[in-house]
């Protein structure tokens, strides 16, 4: 059993240690999930390696390395880990809004159409992240969305059409 | 001498005004396509093939080939300035190109990368002209065990890409390998790690994964500053000094040699070339800690290797009729459509055409250099844009880039997830380049290992019994062990001095 060093006094190192421990555990969980999934596939087939062969080896090695990482971060944090800059509340919000809007925009394209979804996406980013005035955001977003649609269509790339009946006929 | 006179004859034809126009048009299209994430050179060449039906076959192939190697020039622009790789190979340029841009050296990074691309392209073209048959004979001796061993070498070398620990480098490689295993496995047709999503049966597409991991994660990092971070504090110089050129010349030549050698290998070469050149350069450096912080050699070597590999990829096509990359496969299709069959007879039956096309690579690379160097000042203006504009441009282009690959909104969500994964990995000091390399190489490595085991009826010793694969695996072991041994020796030396001093 590894005995941990006394918790570091440096608050930055404490934060870094916490993040590294969480990171190592998260990766260990991923490796465990992969190994669990591999149980349902054969390791070898009559011809050679089966579907579980390569993932089992890789997940096994990943589990091993994450355990080593965890133990090092636990026992000798000042040697084993790099400092982690934790984002403040405002930064976390900006990142969450950007990631959330980007996750949603694809689904929205199938619902309200390419132009409307891309316009809403840009307005959301400009207003909520960069604090641009809403009217200015709209003035930028609408022509940009229309222009991109025209360019994509010229390049032979089809854009999603709205599934909402009222919008379907508008060609958005 | 035959090759030289043939090349000169081809050059005389290639510089005729008609063919120059084809080369210029192809170079411009290639540069633009390379800079945009999403619309890759393979798709662009495929889209443009119908337009070439009425063109003379030589002109058509000059233009399509210029798009291919022009894309590797274009890929570096957004990679260096915005940390957005247009192509997988540009992901390596980011490692030192982007830090250079952040230090106000965007112009120098762009200029050096253009010059390195030119050097790599020209050297590989000479190789194509003089050594194609000999190189091809070596390349065809590469069987599945050698390919697997080559992938292992690349992965082992990549664990020490950036200043991170070997442990975190290894974790990065393993994460990348797991990403590469998503999709249908071909021995039994099992869908692995698809979470019930039909879109994942074909595996994770390269563009959403790269743009998310490298580009989007950087945006998330820059959003940590209250008003975001602009790219450069101030632009100091546009062009490199003589000293900088001199210090990066060796890197360019080594990168060109690595790219030319690996570009010949069907399947893996072009993807590995820039990663391998970077790893070698870091290993050879007296101050490897500069890599990842804006080392000019970290831009010169991978750019030279990338373009050299792109040009060398034509060697197996012309000499054997084997396409080594998806784009070269599309180009092969273009040749077939125009009634030409690539392979050993091509140099005999269509000698004037082949030599004109080869000579056009020299002309095309020169055009790209002349086109790119004056434009460096224009590109660097991008670094002066306010964060709001840059942020919107990058976000919209990543969304469109991810969507345009397969016309799939699913890829936008996938890119975002990879962006968050990349952000988390960056926070934990896990390097992203080995993740990408492992992701790219995983299908090749797994298939090669399976085929090797099938060849030996399940006996893994085949990897050690074949001389070339055994040698490659030895290189991998040495590469992996060198750093810990060096560190242990340094520790012992320091300890010894300490005792003595005390």
- Kindly state the average pLDDT of the residues B324-352: 77
Interchain contact, A34 vs B224, CB within 8 Å: no
**Which pLDDT does position B221 carry in this prediction?**
85
Residue from the list B188, B227, B407 with its beta carbon closest to the beta carbon of A158: B407
| Mean pLDDT, rounded, for B231-259 | 81
Identify the CA nearest to A117 among candidates A129, A101, A135, A105.
A105
Is A43 an interface residue toward B (CB < 8 Å)? no
The three-state secondary structure class of B256 is: helix
What backbone phi and psi angles, to 5 degrees, belong to A49? Answer: -65, 140
Kindly determine whether residue B412 and residue A69, on different chains, have CB atoms separated by under 8 Å: no
Task: Find the residue in B nearest to A50 (Cα).
Answer: B187
Instruction: Check CB contact under 8 Å for A155 and B388.
Output: no
**Minimum-distance CB partner of A19 among B164, B225, B428:** B428
What is the C-alpha separation between B114 and B344, in angstroms, rounded? Answer: 33
- Is B459 within 8 Å of chain A by CB? no
DSSP SS3 for B191:
strand
| Coil/strand/helix, residue A1 | coil
How far is the C-alpha of B233 from the C-alpha of B417, rounded, in Å? 30
Query: What pLDDT score does B498 carry?
Result: 44
**DSSP state letter for B49:** G
Quick one: DSSP state of residue B193? S
Two tokens, residue A79: 């040697």
By C-alpha distance, the chain B residue nearest A64 is B171
The answer to whether residues B124 and B309 touch, using CB atoms and an 8 Å cutoff, is: yes
C-alpha B20/C-alpha B305 separation (Å) is 25
Q: Is B453 touching A (CB cutoff 8 A)?
A: yes
* pLDDT the model gives residue B6: 81
**Residue B83 near residue B394 (C-beta atoms within 8 A):** no
What does the block give as tokens for B331? Answer: 């180009």
B424 — pLDDT class (breaks 50, 70, 90)? very high
Q: What is the DSSP string of B393-436?
A: HHHHHHHHHHHHHHT-THHHHHHHHHHHHHHHHHHTT--HHHHH
A41 in reach of chain B (CB within 8 A): yes
**Span B72-95, average pLDDT:** 77
B415 to A102: CB separation less than 8 angstroms, yes or no: yes
Partners of B454 on chain A (C-beta within 8 Å) are: 47-48
Residue B168 and residue A156: Cβ atoms within 8 Å? no
For residue A114, give both structure tokens.
């390419």
* Count of all residues that appear for chain A in the document: 172
Provide the angle, in degrees to the nearest 10, between the axes of the packed helices B41-48 and B17-35: 140
Of the partner residues A49, A125, A126, the one whose CB lies closest to the CB of residue B450: A49
Question: How large a percentage of chain B has pLDDT more than 70?
Answer: 88
Residues of chain B positioned with their CB less than 8 A from the CB of A140: 392
Nearest CA in chain A to B188: A51
pTM across the whole model:
0.78
Confidence of residue B502 (pLDDT cuts 50, 70, 90): very low
Q: Which chain B residues contact residue A129 at CB under 8 A?
A: 223, 391
Whole-number pLDDT of residue B252: 93
d(CA B279, CA B281): 5
The whole-angstrom separation of Cα A51 and Cα B186 is 8
Confidence of residue B181 (pLDDT cuts 50, 70, 90): very high
Q: How confident is the model at residue B235 (pLDDT cuts 50, 70, 90)?
A: low
A window 110-139, beta carbon within 8 A of B: 110, 118, 121-122, 125-126, 129-130, 132
What is the distance between the alpha carbons of residues B174 and B161, in angstroms, rounded to a whole number? 14
Q: Which of A10-14, B234-238, B469-473 has the lowest mean pLDDT?
A: B234-238
Q: Where are the beta strands (DSSP E) in A18-160?
A: 44-45, 48-49
Q: What is the pLDDT of residue A1?
A: 45
Is A103's CB within 8 Å of B416's CB? yes
Higher-confidence residue of B22 and B40: namely B22
Task: Spell out which residues of chain A touch residue B181, defining contact as CB-CB under 8 Å.
Answer: 54-55, 58
| Rounded mean pLDDT, A139-149 | 92
H or E element at residue B185: strand B183-185
Q: Which range (A36-40, B67-71, B204-208, B325-329) has the least confidence? A: B325-329
Give the integer Cα–Cα distance in Å for B70 and B87.
Answer: 12
Contact residues, chain B, for A62 at CB < 8 Å: 171, 174-175, 178
Contact state of B174 with A58 under an 8 Å Cβ cutoff = yes
Mean pLDDT (whole number) for B393-421: 89
Cβ contacts below 8 Å, chain A against chain B, sum to 161
Lowest mean per-residue pLDDT among B374-383, B446-455, B463-472: B374-383
Whether the pLDDT of residue B500 is over 50: the answer is no
Interface confidence, given as ipTM, is: 0.90
Nearest to A58 among B177, B188, B417 (CB): B177
Who has greater pLDDT, B236 or B70? B70
Confidence tier at B496 by pLDDT (50, 70, 90) = low
Instruction: Give A 20-39 residues with CB within 8 A of chain B.
Output: 20, 23, 27, 30, 34, 37
In this complex, is the C-beta atom of B318 within 8 Å of any C-beta atom belonging to chain A? Answer: no
Q: Is B399 on the interface with A (CB under 8 A)?
A: yes
Contact status, residue B356 vs residue B348, Cβ threshold 8 Å: no
Q: Which of B35-44, B68-77, B302-311, B481-490 has the highest mean pLDDT?
A: B302-311
Position A128 scores a pLDDT of 92
The DSSP code sequence of B435-485 is: HHHHHHHHHHHHHHHHHHHHHTTT-TTHHHHSHHHHHHHHHHHHHHHHHHH
Does residue B427 sit at the A interface (CB-CB below 8 Å)? yes
């Amino acid at each position: 059993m590894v005995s941990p060093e006394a918790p570091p006094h440096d608050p930055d190192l404490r934060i870094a240690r916490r993040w590294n421990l969480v990171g190592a555990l998260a990766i260990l969980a991923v490796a465990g999930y992969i190994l669990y999934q591999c149980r349902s596939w054969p390791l070898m087939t009559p011809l050679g390696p089966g579907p579980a062969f390569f993932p089992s080896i890789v997940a096994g090695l990943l589990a091993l390395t994450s355990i080593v990482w965890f133990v090092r971060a636990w026992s000798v944090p000042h040697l084993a880990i790099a400092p982690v800059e934790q984002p403040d509340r405002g930064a976390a919000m900006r990142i969450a809004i950007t990631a959330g809007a980007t996750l949603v925009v694809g689904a929205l394209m199938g619902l309200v159409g390419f132009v409307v979804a891309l316009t809403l996406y840009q307005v959301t980013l400009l207003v909520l992240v960069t604090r641009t005035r809403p009217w200015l955001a709209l003035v930028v977003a609408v022509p940009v969305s229309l222009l991109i649609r025209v360019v994509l269509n010229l390049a032979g790339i089809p854009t999603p059409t709205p599934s909402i009946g009222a919008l379907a006929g508008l060609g958005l | 001498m035959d090759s030289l006179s043939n090349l000169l004859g081809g050059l005389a034809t290639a510089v005729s005004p008609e063919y120059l126009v084809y080369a210029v048009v192809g170079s411009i299209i290639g540069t633009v396509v390379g800079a945009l994430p999403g619309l890759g050179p393979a798709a662009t060449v495929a889209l443009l093939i119908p337009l070439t039906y009425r063109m003379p076959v030589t002109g058509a192939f000059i233009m399509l080939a210029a798009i291919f190697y022009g894309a590797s020039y274009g890929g570096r622009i957004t990679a260096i300035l915005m940390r957005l790789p247009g192509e997988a190979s540009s992901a390596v340029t980011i490692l030192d190109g982007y830090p250079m841009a952040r230090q106000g050296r965007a112009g120098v990074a762009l200029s050096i990368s253009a010059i390195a691309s030119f050097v790599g392209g020209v050297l590989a073209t000479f190789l194509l002209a003089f050594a194609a048959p000999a190189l091809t004979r070596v390349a065809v001796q590469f069987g599945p065990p050698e390919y697997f061993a080559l992938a292992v070498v690349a992965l082992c070398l990549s664990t020490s890409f950036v200043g991170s620990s070997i442990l975190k480098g290894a974790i990065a490689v393993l994460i990348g390998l797991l990403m590469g295993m998503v999709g249908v496995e071909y021995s039994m047709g099992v869908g692995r790690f698809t979470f019930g999503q039909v879109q994942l049966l074909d595996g994770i597409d390269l563009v959403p994964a790269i743009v998310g991991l490298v580009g989007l994660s950087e945006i998330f990092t820059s959003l940590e500053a209250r008003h975001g971070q602009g790219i450069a504090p101030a632009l100091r110089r546009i062009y490199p000094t003589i000293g900088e050129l001199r210090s990066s010349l060796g890197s360019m030549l080594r990168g060109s040699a690595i790219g030319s050698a690996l570009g010949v290998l069907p399947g893996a070469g072009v993807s590995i070339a820039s990663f391998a050149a970077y790893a070698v350069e870091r290993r050879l450096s007296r101050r490897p800690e500069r890599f990842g912080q804006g080392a000019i050699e970290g831009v010169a070597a991978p750019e030279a290797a990338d373009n050299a590999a792109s040009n060398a990829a034509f060697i197996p096509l012309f000499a054997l009729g084997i396409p080594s990359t998806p784009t070269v496969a599309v180009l092969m299709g273009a040749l077939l459509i125009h009634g030409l069959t690539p392979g050993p007879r091509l140099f005999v039956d269509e000698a004037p055409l082949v030599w004109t096309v080869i000579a056009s690579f020299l002309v095309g690379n020169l055009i790209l250099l002349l086109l790119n160097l004056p434009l460096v000042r224009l590109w660097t203006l991008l670094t002066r844009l306010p964060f709001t504009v840059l942020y919107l441009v990058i976000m919209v282009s990543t969304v469109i880039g991810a969507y345009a690959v397969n016309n799939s909104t699913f890829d936008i969500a996938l890119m975002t997830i990879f962006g968050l994964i990349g952000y988390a990995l960056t926070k934990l000091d896990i390097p992203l380049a080995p993740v990408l390399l492992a992701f790219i190489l995983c299908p090749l490595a797994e298939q090669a290992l399976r085929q090797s085991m099938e060849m030996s009826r399940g006996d893994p010793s085949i990897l050690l019994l074949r001389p070339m694969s055994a040698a490659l695996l030895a290189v991998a072991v040495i590469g992996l062990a060198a750093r810990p041994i060096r560190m242990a020796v340094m520790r012992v030396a320091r300890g010894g001095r300490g005792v003595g001093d005390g």
